[in-house]
Homo-oligomer: A and B are copies of this chain.
């Protein structure tokens, strides 16, 4: 029996052209494929690959399953959208290692990085993350809302660009509006805001607007929201939607 392994693979935002070569190689070597079903569906079927697609919100079960299969000698790929280390499966796998069988610590566990949503979204618009920036998940499944608001305040007060993942869901339709309202306490209403949905996928929808406009707009869980810093600027164009960038320099 060969020694098993787990590779946690970033599939990027969707377009297969945004996968790294290393991620493609790792997918080609897998015997078992584990992940949330839309990510598993992105990987073509082939002989010798056993697919284990699961529903959302069972990350730790999925991680334990991957580790059990690897411990039995299988070469397992756990797939994530974007980068597995950014609000995705890598942390769930290492949580399962930390709290699971001691022998799991000695397994061959690797991570193949990917293009996370904020980088893919930024690249579509210009350079909105051109200065210092923070990435936050607005989901309160895993942390209290008062921690989220304290972090948002810190980010806005210190004038970072903010990239918001998991901005909304049917269970909490009000949180993104609350976050944008907080932003408006610190930023001008003319500050650029980007709603980037399903970047590089067939249903891609990218909207560029001001903070005032954003407060009236809607998003969904497939959207990453980027709120500019005080220096973030639009560059108007006759030929299309404006570019958005954050200058590298901050005045003294």
Interfacial residues, chain A to chain B (CB-CB below 8 A)? 12, 15-22, 24-25, 59, 83-87, 90-95, 97-98, 105-106, 109-116, 119-120, 122-124, 126-137, 142-144, 147, 150-151, 153-155, 157-160, 233, 235-239, 243, 245-250, 252
Provide the residues of chain B in CB contact with A127, threshold 8 Å. Answer: 84-85, 90-91, 93-94, 111
Provide the residues of chain B in CB contact with A153, threshold 8 Å. Answer: 158
Closest 6 CB pairs of A and B: A91-B130, A143-B250, A154-B158, A94-B245, A90-B127, A111-B123
Distance in angstroms between the alpha carbons of A90 and B84 in the assembled complex: 24
Q: Is there contact, CB below 8 Å, between A126 and B235?
A: no
Distance in angstroms between the alpha carbons of A171 and B53 in the assembled complex: 52
Q: Is there contact, CB below 8 Å, between B18 and A12?
A: no
Q: Is there contact, CB below 8 Å, between A18 and B18?
A: no
Q: Is there contact, CB below 8 Å, between B235 and A119?
A: no
Given the interface contacts A113-B123, A252-B144, does A130 sit within 8 Å of B90 by beta carbon?
yes
Distance in angstroms between the alpha carbons of A55 and B127 in the assembled complex: 22
Distance in angstroms between the alpha carbons of A126 and B116 in the assembled complex: 16
Distance in angstroms between the alpha carbons of A83 and B95 in the assembled complex: 28
From A16, A94, A128, name the one whose CB has the most chain B CB atoms within 10 angstroms. Answer: A94
Provide the residues of chain B in CB contact with A97, threshold 8 Å. Answer: 235, 243
Interchain residue pairs with CB less than 8 A apart (16):
A18-B21, A85-B122, A90-B130, A90-B245, A91-B246, A92-B248, A95-B245, A95-B247, A98-B245, A105-B235, A105-B239, A110-B123, A114-B115, A131-B143, A144-B252, A151-B158
Provide the residues of chain B in CB contact with A98, threshold 8 Å. Answer: 233, 235, 245
Distance in angstroms between the alpha carbons of A21 and B21 in the assembled complex: 7
A199 to chain B, nearest CB (A): 10
Distance in angstroms between the alpha carbons of A127 and B87 in the assembled complex: 10
Q: Is there contact, CB below 8 Å, between A133 and B134?
A: yes
A204 to chain B, nearest CB (A): 14
Distance in angstroms between the alpha carbons of A114 and B236 in the assembled complex: 26
Given the interface contacts A17-B22, A233-B98, A247-B95, does A106 sit within 8 Å of B150 by beta carbon?
no
